[in-house]
Amino acid sequence: MKRIRILLADDHAVVRQGFKMILAEQPDMEISGEAANGREAVELAEKIKPDVVVMDVAMPELNGIEATRRLAASVPHTRVLALSMHKDSVYVREILRAGARGYLLKDSPAQDMLAAVRAVAGGEGYISPAVSSAVLDDYRKHVTNPIDLLTSREREVLQMLAEGKTNKEIAAVLNLSVYTVEAHRGRIMEKLNVHSINELVRFAVRNGLID
């Protein structure tokens, strides 16, 4: 069985020791190295190319977010599992944007840590259950699908335009004047930042408005 090679990066030796005891007991895991700050973590990871770096977010000299960013560029096959005491979505967002595949709270039970390491090593993501709702709220706040900018009537017009109906046909279906449909079409294109019917059709397909 191929073992998951792990690099532990945390500035507290006691924390590293605790994690080492949990991970080293697993038949499918081995500790390949330890680092006490972000700079050491990057240098060591570039040398030994572990499968997973368990990376503390807050470390001296070079923090975990910046270290993760550098690793994503220099050792792209090494996956980072972020480790933090913070439940705030801003920490989660920043380290995931930097390239981490998972986010684990330091006070998580041992089985969560093992599940996180295995998930990240297997190319999946992992977010501590205690922070997942904060992450979802944050995602909703920061990621706006342009379709949300459209009114219900504009979405209706968009669908018919994407289906190939003319302004005149749409006007007849919706009992509107052709001028009103043209105005809707102009606003839709402006809000979605598209400049042709082809782009509108592609947008509609991407967002599941038409097959």
> What is the pLDDT at residue 21?
94
Reported CATH class of domain 4-142: alpha beta
> What is the pLDDT at residue 87?
85
> What is the pLDDT at residue 207?
80
> What is the pLDDT at residue 147?
82
Q: Where are the domains of the chain?
A: 4-142, 146-206
Beta-sheet pairing, 52-56 with 4-9: parallel
> What is the pLDDT at residue 187?
93
Q: CB–CB of 165/173 below 8 Å? A: yes
CA distance 10 to 158: 52
Let me know if 2 is exposed, middle or buried by CB neighbors in 10 A (0-12, 13-18, 19+): exposed
> What is the pLDDT at residue 125?
93
Which residues, in sequence order, are CB contacts of 208 under 8 Å at separation 6+?
none
> What is the pLDDT at residue 211?
73
> What is the pLDDT at residue 129?
87
> What is the pLDDT at residue 102?
95
> What is the pLDDT at residue 143?
63
Q: What CATH number labels 146-206?
A: 1.10.10.10
> What is the pLDDT at residue 134?
76
> What is the pLDDT at residue 84?
93
The candidate with the shortest Cα–Cα distance to 85, out of 57, 106, 104, 103, is 106
- Hey, what are 119's tokens? 């998930």
> What is the pLDDT at residue 117?
97
Q: CB–CB of 154/184 below 8 Å? A: yes
CA distance 68 to 92: 13
> What is the pLDDT at residue 1?
72
CA distance 142 to 103: 19
Per-residue pLDDT of the chain (211 residues; tens, 9 = 90+): 789 999 999 999 999 999 999 999 999 999 999 999 999 999 999 999 999 999 999 998 899 999 999 999 999 999 999 999 988 877 888 888 899 999 999 999 999 999 999 999 999 999 998 888 777 777 777 666 788 788 889 989 999 999 999 999 999 999 999 999 999 999 999 988 899 999 999 988 888 888 7
